[in-house]
Chain A
């Protein structure tokens, strides 16, 4: 079976100790590798505020794992996330060829931008001030 690229982002309960967080990350990685998958990237983002409460927690520890595996492994991985007491929320996203290509292109472009105009301060002017443009829009309507 051909391998596909996936990304699993999941949230661990905030009351888990730091050592155990690493253990959870390792455990998930092992699950992937044992089923013939390969880890591409593994990151622990650390403690973050959640945008809304999940299982009565307003904080959580985010862990991101990018991996390659066969598609039928995903059901098992999701089952593991669902059964785990420590994991309060998860998503698994499939990256197709085109998305991967675009992402790589974007990453390269960002690097160039940072290298090229790192010191330029007018970069912020390009950020569309949405509230301002809404005001303009309303003016137009009149």
Chain B
């Protein structure tokens, strides 16, 4: 087995880190829910829910809206209930 010096090892590590850094720059996103400190999302509030579905009627993922896990959970439940009672579409053409 070839011996790799500690120096070389750290060099490789740095290189890898650099590459990873270059690839993606993440920006923290804050959703409107956090800004306005919304604690409860109602399934009847279609005006609010419409911001979190696409034109097709799909639920927009958290990585795009910036909602926290808690908020996204509540959103999903609300959207699904609203769909059942025809307030929101399952699929919109």
Chain A residues numbered 1-54 whose CB sits less than 8 Å from any CB in chain B: 9, 11, 50-52, 54
Q: Which of A51, A93, A126 contacts B89 (CB 8 A)?
A: A51
Chain B residues numbered 56-86 whose CB sits less than 8 Å from any CB in chain A: 60, 63-66, 81, 83-86
A126 CB contacts on chain B under 8 angstroms: 32, 35-36
A-B CB contacts (within 8 Å), total count: 69
B66 CB contacts on chain A under 8 angstroms: 128, 133
Q: Which of B27, B39, B52 contacts A109 (CB 8 A)?
A: B39
Q: Which of A11, A128, A134 contacts B86 (CB 8 A)?
A: A11
Say yes or no: A109-B37 contact (C-beta < 8 A), given A51-B83, A93-B81, A126-B32: yes
Q: Is the CB of B85 within 8 A of A91?
A: yes
B interface, over-half SS: loop
Contact-residue bracket for chain A = 20 to 34
Chain B residues numbered 15-70 whose CB sits less than 8 Å from any CB in chain A: 24-27, 29, 31-32, 35-40, 42-44, 51-52, 54, 60, 63-66
A133 CB contacts on chain B under 8 angstroms: 29, 64-66
Q: Is the CB of A128 within 8 A of B36?
A: no
Residue of A nearest to B23 (CB): A141
Q: Is the CB of B86 within 8 A of A102?
A: no
Complex Cα distance A83/B36, Å?
Answer: 43
Give A56 Cβ to nearest chain B Cβ, in Å. 13
Residue contacts A-B, CB under 8 angstroms, 28 given: A51-B89, A51-B90, A51-B92, A89-B84, A89-B85, A90-B85, A91-B84, A91-B85, A93-B43, A93-B81, A99-B40, A103-B40, A106-B42, A109-B37, A109-B39, A126-B32, A126-B35, A127-B32, A128-B66, A130-B51, A130-B52, A130-B54, A130-B60, A133-B64, A133-B65, A133-B66, A137-B64, A140-B25
